[in-house]
Amino acid sequence: MTASQKIWALHLGLIAVLFAAQYVLPPYHATNLARIMVLSIFAMGYNIAFGYTGLLSLGHALFFAAGMYGMGLSLTLLGWTALPALIAGLVAGGLLAGAVGVLALRTAGVSFMIVTLMFAQAGYLALLYFGTITGGDEGFNPDRSLRMIGSLDLSADTPRYLVALGLFALALLLCLWLVRSPFGRVMVAMRENEERSRMLGYNPFAIKLITLVLSGFYAGLAGAAYGLLFGYVGATFATIQYSILPMLYVLLGGAGTVIGPFLGALAMFYLIDLASGITDAYFFVVGAALVALVLFAPKGILGALRERGVRWLP
């Protein structure tokens, strides 16, 4: 089996396993998996910026929330149906990432982290300030009658799972194509040595901006899908916590790997779920797990596997 065949077998196999999982898993875990798949899209977007291009952002909650509110407000204020609203959310995430990128990409490293963090904080406060439209800190619930794509009721478990899986599969395969494309190689070149890439004739600012917009599209899609599938649009999703989470998912699963964000989201979700059943200090458990990760597998689960022989992992 060639490396390419192995790659396709792995990624299509994962999608097939996830499809089958809904018939095997108890309802609680099936719904969890639907949530995890949507959060994985968010993490995949973060991975495109951070894992492949080296852009360590602390502002991705802004793009996730842009998608969520872009979708939610399209439903409630503009009277759009669910599918156009979902696309509006995706576009909102990408556009906002572009706008932030034009300014924030003038900086790099720690400064980039701080500038993106400031934009995200400004976005969060704007959601509170325009509370009459956004619902402020309380947020709002899109009516169940609006959460329909054609005759598909997204508040019902099976359609919700299938839509989450469909979006996840689309995002995963697009990501796989992207990182194996020539542009994907250039992204990695930016991460590894920006100056040498510039010398070779690439425009780092343009490449990073495009990457950030792509990442924003992913985050926007994830935010829109989360709001639509689970029926809540709220400002909490714009807080710093939701900028840190995708970073942790990516670090845990393996930065710069296509499946890593999914594995990271899955592991982190269940780490919190299980640890919270044992102790109130479950974030301590999460913290301890991350410290152990940094000490023993600094490149994450799949990064460690890739180093130990599975070198074909994209």
Please give the structure tokens belonging to residue 279: 């102790």
Nearest to 205, CA basis, from 106, 281, 303, 128: 106
User: What's the CA gap between 151 and 38, in Å, rounded?
Assistant: 21
Stretch that binds other proteins, among 83-91, 92-100, 168-176, 276-284 (CB under 8 A): 276-284
Assess 98 for contact with other proteins (CB under 8 A): no
128 binds other proteins (CB under 8 A): yes
Q: Which is nearer to other proteins, 272 or 304 (CB)?
A: 272
Stretch that binds other proteins, among 61-69, 201-209, 268-276, 304-312 (CB under 8 A): 268-276
State the nearest-atom distance from the C-beta of 26 to other proteins, in Å. 7
Which of residues 140, 168, 218, 249 is near other proteins by CB under 8 A?
A: 140
Closest contact distance (angstroms) between CB of 227 and other proteins is 10
CA 185 to chain CA centroid, Å, is: 21
Does residue 23 interact with other proteins by CB under 8 A?
A: no
Task: Give the Cα separation of 256 and 17 in Å (integer).
Answer: 22
For the record, the structure tokens of 198 come out as: 């510039």
Under rule CB under 8 A, residue 155 binds other proteins: yes
Does position 137 interact with other proteins (CB under 8 A)? The reply is yes
**Shortest CB 73 distance to other proteins, Å:** 16
Interaction with other proteins in 203-242: which residues (CB under 8 A)? 230-232, 234-237
**Helix residue spans in the chain (DSSP H):** 3-24, 27-47, 60-76, 82-104, 110-129, 131-134, 157-180, 182-192, 194-199, 204-230, 241-253, 260-276, 282-296, 300-307
Determine if 276 is a binding residue for other proteins (CB under 8 A): yes
Window of 65-73, 98-106, 165-173, 279-287 that interacts with other proteins by CB under 8 A: 279-287
- Interaction of residue 144 with other proteins, rule CB under 8 A: yes
Q: At 190, which amino acid appears?
A: M
DSSP string, 167-217: HHHHHHHHHHHHHHSHHHHHHHHHHH-HHHHHHTT--HHHHHHHHHHHHHH
Which of 229, 177, 175 has the alpha carbon at shortest distance from 48?
175
Please report whether residue 112 would count as binding other proteins according to CB under 8 A.
no
Is 26 a binding residue for other proteins by CB under 8 A? The answer is yes
Phi/psi for 233 (5° steps) reads -120, 115
- Work out how close the CB of 40 gets to other proteins at its nearest, in angstroms, rounded to a whole number: 15
CA-nearest of 65, 60, 98, 45 to 250 is: 45
HSE-CB of 306 using CA atoms within 13 angstroms: 20
Tell whether residue 59 is a contact of other proteins (CB under 8 A).
no
By CB under 8 A, tell whether 95 contacts other proteins.
Answer: no
Shortest distance, position 100 Cβ to other proteins, whole Å: 20
Residue placing its CB nearer to other proteins in the complex, 116 or 121: 121
- Segment interacting with other proteins (CB under 8 A) among 10-18, 57-65, 126-134, 164-172: 126-134
Q: Does 138 bind other proteins (CB under 8 A)?
A: yes
Coil/strand/helix, residue 295:
helix
Residue 67 binds other proteins (CB under 8 A) = no
Residues that bind other proteins (CB under 8 A): 26-28, 31-32, 35, 125, 128-129, 131, 135-141, 144, 155-157, 230-232, 234-237, 272-273, 276-277, 280, 282-283
